[in-house]
Structures are given as C-alpha cells and as structure tokens.
C-alpha cells in the first residue's frame, strides 16, 4: 500500500504504539495502549468531594491528555494540597512524571499513593515498570510476583512479568506470562495486544490476528484491539475494505475521536475518492474545533487555519468543470497530506484547464507555505476573479504588513471594511494593524466598532483596554478589563494590567491583590511570580510571600534555587522543619552549594542540633562560603 504502513514496536516494555501513516495524519499516540490501570479498582466514593475538586481533576486530565504536563502537575499539586490522603492524586502525578521520564519523582509519588492507601496496588505495578525502565529486573519481578498472589491483581501481575521476561529477551517466557494473564482475567485486553505483537514479530501474524479476535470477543469495546486488527488486515492481506470496515466500527464506537475520521479521509485518498476524502477531513476538523475531546488532533494542516479557510472557500465556490474539479480536489488531498509540491502542480494544472478564484486562493496558501516570492500576485489574481474574496484580500493585507507596506495593507483592510461593514473581523484586523503602527486613536475606534458587532470576543476588549491604558485613559481601560474578567476571570494578563493601573493610582494593597490574581493564572510566568514576591516582601505580607514562593517552585520545577529561597523564607519565619525540608531537598540536587549548606547550618542551630550545624558550616566554609 502506498500511503498506509504498519509500525508496531515495544518501547521499553510498557507501551505499545501502532501507527497508520501517523507522521502525516495524526499524533504519535493515536492507537497507544494507555498505561495499564484497572480503572474499576480506582473508583472510590467521591461524594465527599466538592465540585471544585472534581473540576480540578477534570482540568488536570484534560491538560495531561493534551500534553500540557506542567499545567497538569500544577493542577495535581493543588489537589494534593487539598487532600493528600487521596491516593489517586499522587498516582496521577506519578504517571505525569513517568511521561516525563523523571523516574525518581515518579517512584516517590507512587510510594505516596501506597502510603495513602496500601490497597492501591496499581501504584505497585507502576513501581515495577520503573524498575524495568532502570534495568533492575530482579526488583521489578518482585513487585509483579506480589501482585500475582492477589486474585484481583493476578492478571496485572502476570502482565508485568511478561514485560520482565521480554527485558531478559525471553520471548517464550513472556508469551507464557501473557497467556497466564489472559487466563487470570479473560477481559484483561492489554495482554492480548502485547502477545499478538510477539506473534507478529515471530512471523505468526495470522495467529496474532486470531488472538486479537478472541480479545475483541471478550471485550467488544476494545478499541485498540480493533485498531490493531485493522492494521493486520493491511499487513497480511492488503485488504483495504476490511480496514475500512474496522475503521467504521471504531468511528461508531468513538464518534468523538477525530483521529478515526481523519484516517477515513486517508482511506478515501487511497481509493482516489478525492471529494469524499476532503469531506471526511472537514468533518474531522469541525469535530476537533467544536469540542475538547480526549483525543488530540495534531495533523499538520489542523494547525494552519489559513489552509482550512482556503479549503472552505473552495467548497463555497466549486462550480467548475468536472476535469478542473478533479485536479483541484486531488491537489487539496495532497495539501492535506502536506505534499505541497504535488499539490501546487495539480492545482496549477486545474488553473490551466480553467482559471478560478478558488484555485488561486489555494495556490496562495501553498505559496506561503513554500515561501514563494510571488504570493501577493497570486492572491491578486484570486481577487481579480472574485472581488468579494475576503480571505484573499485579508491574506494579501497581512503579507503587506509583514513587508511593512502599511499603505497597501491599509487599502486592503479599508476595502474589507467597506465590503463587509457588518462583520467584525475587518474592523478588528485593521485595528490590530493601526495599533502596531502607533495610531492608537484610530485603532481604538476600530476596536469599538468591532465590539458593537460582537460583544463575545474578549480579545477585542483586551485590545481596547490596552490602547486606553497606553493613552492613559485609565478609567476606560478599567471598565473594559472588569467586563472581560466577569466573563473570563482566569485572564492573567487582564489582572496584571489592573494591577498596573492600581499602582499608578497609588492603591498598593489593591495592586498586590490584582498581582496575586495575575500570578495565579499566569502559572509559568516567573517574572510575575518574582514581582509578586518582591511586592509582598516590601509590604510585609507573609501569606502572599509564601504563595509567591510556592508558585515559583511550581513554575520551574528544575530551578532548584527557588527551593532554597523558600527554605530561607521559612527559616526567617521560624518555621524550621519546613525550612529543613526545603533546604535538604535543594542540597539533594545542588550538592556543592555553600549558600545552601550555610543556611542548613543555621537551621540545625535553631533546632538545637549543634553538631550537625557545625558540620554543615565547615562544609560551607570549605566551599569558600561564609557570611559571618
């Protein structure tokens, strides 16, 4: 098959990845088998949790699903602060660290989960997987054998032992352990999948396919199994129809998974059904933008809004000869696959057959991707054929802005405003350009007109507030910022601007409160956290100082000096145990820190441990550090 291929591999044991042309169509984890967790074992009575905790956990899961690991860690930290006796919070944080390959921290969090609940044995399985990753096969085997002796966890334990055997290159032993896992729990589908992979690698592909069928029979909702079976139908028999039938089944099972719809488009491309392929792609993209699902759609074209808009323009203007349309739609399919040179060739052929505004619009987008020198003239050709082509006019205007040809850009934006006076975007785009070239009054008026057409676009309110602030119309700026924050209270930049206005007005306490809110929502902005720390220190606000220290640590987990900063803060506040914890943690990472050892000496002295204090001070002095 030209565009489909199978890549099945075991990565360090715990993860199976099967891909179908995912380099062009989807993200690497399309058919990833998730880390083995028996979800029904983790279900506990959450009735005691309020809606905040439930929402925060959902937010953490969404961030983790979308690859925002820093945000997920921050969310889980807040949940652990809320209730550190709930094992799931520690476990999930351990899984994040596993994803980051920070096995020391992952091990710590899995042990914390077991400390919170010794019966939370999924954490023990993950400890075994960490041991495998670090090459300690004996320790891993001990963890897994413990699980095999517990009825409800036997399948999980044998599954781990299978990976342990694979680590020792014992394929036969691994097969036996995976079979024992299936015998212990016929509905534990992970072992079917991994055993099927071994069969495939050993040349017994049909046996692997049969095993997958058994797993699907045991659990008809097993998506990964159906996906793997679909791949095998291509690998063993190049049976595109069977693959499509399984794909249709996956789409019916998981209509929110736009990966599947996008792969359906790939099937249509393979069958040279160009129009159907583009329609499937549109459905996938529409679904992606309409919901925040559990599957992250990461095709290249999905990240390029102008490509999508050009395709939309084509569908609105595809009244053309059948031969022209055939070239055009094949070219669009090549664009979807990011084969831009082939796409340009095909769409040029379509234009040679019949010049169309849609063809030039698509060529303009492709020309931008390939950095062709004549893109502006291509868009001009599209505009000549359709003077109402707002997309081409807008793109040409933005290209003029990039070239600093503001006069030409203004003429295009002015044209859009006159053509579409009741639409928001022309006013907004012209306002953005005017603000960039320092025409704040005119930009303010354009943003005001855009707001009158759409009061739900919070970016407009922020842009207008920024201009009002720059022109020192602080009350007008505050009015827009307050409106924005009533609708999007998590907008950290808006809180920061309010803080600046309060400072100008001399209201330092209100400014501190607003800066605290800005720091809360701008989680990764170290500069804002430092500014909060300095301001709280100047105002003598101990509570906010501690909050700022905590946020600094969470914003840069490997900037260990922030641990020392907080440790010094705790020491100054006579909270010696907390100071000791932070400074020792800091020194575990930065072992030859004279400053750290010096403060460790002072903490020990405050705790009455004079010998430890003397030893630490001598180590600091040996490193050439002595504040006395």
Burial call 562-580: b when 16+ CB within 10 Å, e when fewer: bbbbbbbbbbeeeebebbb
Report pLDDT digits (tens) over 232-281. 888 788 888 888 898 999 988 888 777 888 888 888 888 888 988 888 88
Q: How confident is the model at residue 531 (pLDDT cuts 50, 70, 90)?
A: very high
Counting Cβ atoms within 10 Å, is residue 404 exposed (0-12), middle (13-18) or buried (19+)? exposed
Is the pLDDT score of 319 beyond 80? yes
Element (H, E) at 18: strand 15-19
Burial call 296-322: b when 16+ CB within 10 Å, e when fewer: bbbbebbebebbbbbbebbeebeebee
Q: Rounded distance, CA 297 to CA 10, Å? A: 23
Report pLDDT digits (tens) over 561-572. 999 999 999 999
Q: What is the pLDDT of residue 324?
A: 92
Q: What is the pLDDT of residue 47?
A: 38
Q: What is the pLDDT of residue 348?
A: 96
Is the pLDDT score of 39 beyond 80? no
pTM to 2 decimals? 0.68
Mean pLDDT of the residues in the chain:
85
The pLDDT of 430-452, averaged and rounded, is 96
Percent residues over pLDDT 90 in the chain: 57
Q: What is the pLDDT of residue 200?
A: 85
Report pLDDT digits (tens) over 46-93. 434 446 778 888 888 888 777 778 888 888 888 898 888 889 899 999
Q: What is the pLDDT of residue 627?
A: 61
Q: Which residues pair with 8 in a beta bridge?
A: 18
Q: What is the pLDDT of residue 41?
A: 32
Residues 6+ apart with CB under 8 A from 540: none
Asked if residues 426 and 411 have their Cβ atoms less than 8 Å apart, the reply is no
Asked if residues 525 and 492 have their Cβ atoms less than 8 Å apart, the reply is yes
Counting Cβ atoms within 10 Å, is residue 82 exposed (0-12), middle (13-18) or buried (19+)? middle
* C-alpha distance from residue 36 to each of 122, 126, 155, 534 (Å): 8, 9, 11, 45
The single-letter DSSP state of residue 15 is E
Q: Rounded distance, CA 372 to CA 158, Å? A: 58
Region of 372 (left: φ > 0; alpha: ψ -120 to 50; beta: rest) is: beta
């Amino acid at each position: 098959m030209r565009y489909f291929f199978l890549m099945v591999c075991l990565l360090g044991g715990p993860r199976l990845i099967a891909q179908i042309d995912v380099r062009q169509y989807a993200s690497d984890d399309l058919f990833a088998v998730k880390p083995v967790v028996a979800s029904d074992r983790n279900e506990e009575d959450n009735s005691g949790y309020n809606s905040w905790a439930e929402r925060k956990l959902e937010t953490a899961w969404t961030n983790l699903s979308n690859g925002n690991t820093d945000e997920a860690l921050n969310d889980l930290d807040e949940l652990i602060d809320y209730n550190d006796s709930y094992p799931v919070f520690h476990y999930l944080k351990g899984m994040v660290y596993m994803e980051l390959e920070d096995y020391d921290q992952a091990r710590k969090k899995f042990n914390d989960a077991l400390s919170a609940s010794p019966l939370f044995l999924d954490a023990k399985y993950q400890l075994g997987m960490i041991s495998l990753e670090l090459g300690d096969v004996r320790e891993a085997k001990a963890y897994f054998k413990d699980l095999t002796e517990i009825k409800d966890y036997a399948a999980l334990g044998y599954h781990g032992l299978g990976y342990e055997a694979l680590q020792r290159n014992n394929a036969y032993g691994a097969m036996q352990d995976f079979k024992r896992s299936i015998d212990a729990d016929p509905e534990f589908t992970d072992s079917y999948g991994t055993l099927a992979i071994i069969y495939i690698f050993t040349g017994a592909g049909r046996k692997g396919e049969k095993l997958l069928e058994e797993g699907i029979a045991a659990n008809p909702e097993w998506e990964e199994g159906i996906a793997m079976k679909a791949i095998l139908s291509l690998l063993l028999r190049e049976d595109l129809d069977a693959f499509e039938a399984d794909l249709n089944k996956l789409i019916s099972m998981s209509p929110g998974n736009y990966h599947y719809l996008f792969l359906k488009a790939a099937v249509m491309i393979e069958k040279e059904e160009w129009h159907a392929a583009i329609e499937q792609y549109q459905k996938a993209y529409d679904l992606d933008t309409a919901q925040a699902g559990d599957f992250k759609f990461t095709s290249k074209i999905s990240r390029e809004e102008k490509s999508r808009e050009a395709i939309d323009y084509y569908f609105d203007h595809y009244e053309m000869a059948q031969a022209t349309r055939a070239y055009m739609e094949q070219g669009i399919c090549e664009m979807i696959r990011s084969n831009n040179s082939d796409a340009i060739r095909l769409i040029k052929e379509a234009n040679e057959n019949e010049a169309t505004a849609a063809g030039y619009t698509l060529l303009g987008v492709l020309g931008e991707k390939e950095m062709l020198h004549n893109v502006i003239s291509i868009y001009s050709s599209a505009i000549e054929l359709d003077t109402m082509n707002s997309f081409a006019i807008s793109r040409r205007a933005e290209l003029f802005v990039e070239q600093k040809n503001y006069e030409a850009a203004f003429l295009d934006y002015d044209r859009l405003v006159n053509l579409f006076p009741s639409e928001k975007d022309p006013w907004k785009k012209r306002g953005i350009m005017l603000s960039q070239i320092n025409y704040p009054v005119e930009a303010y008026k354009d943003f005001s007109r855009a707001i009158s057409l759409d009061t739900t676009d919070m970016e407009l309110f922020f842009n207008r507030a920024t201009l009002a602030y720059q022109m020192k119309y602080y009350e007008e700026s505050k009015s827009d910022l307050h409106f924005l924050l009533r609708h999007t209270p998590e907008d950290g930049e808006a809180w920061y601007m309010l803080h600046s206005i309060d400072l100008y007005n001399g209201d330092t306490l209100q400014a501190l409160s607003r800066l605290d809110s800005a720091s809360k929502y701008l989680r990764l902005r170290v500069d804002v956290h430092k500014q909060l720390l300095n301001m709280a220190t100047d105002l003598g606000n101990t509570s906010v100082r501690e909050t700022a220290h905590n946020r600094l640590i969470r914003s840069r987990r490997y900037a260990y000096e922030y641990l020392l900063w907080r440790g010094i803060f705790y020491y100054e506040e006579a909270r010696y145990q907390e100071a000791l914890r932070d400074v020792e943690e800091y020194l575990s990472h930065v072992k030859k820190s004279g400053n750290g050892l010096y403060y460790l000496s002072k903490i020990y002295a405050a705790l009455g441990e004079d010998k430890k204090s003397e030893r630490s001070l001598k180590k600091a002095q040996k490193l050439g550090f002595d504040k006395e």
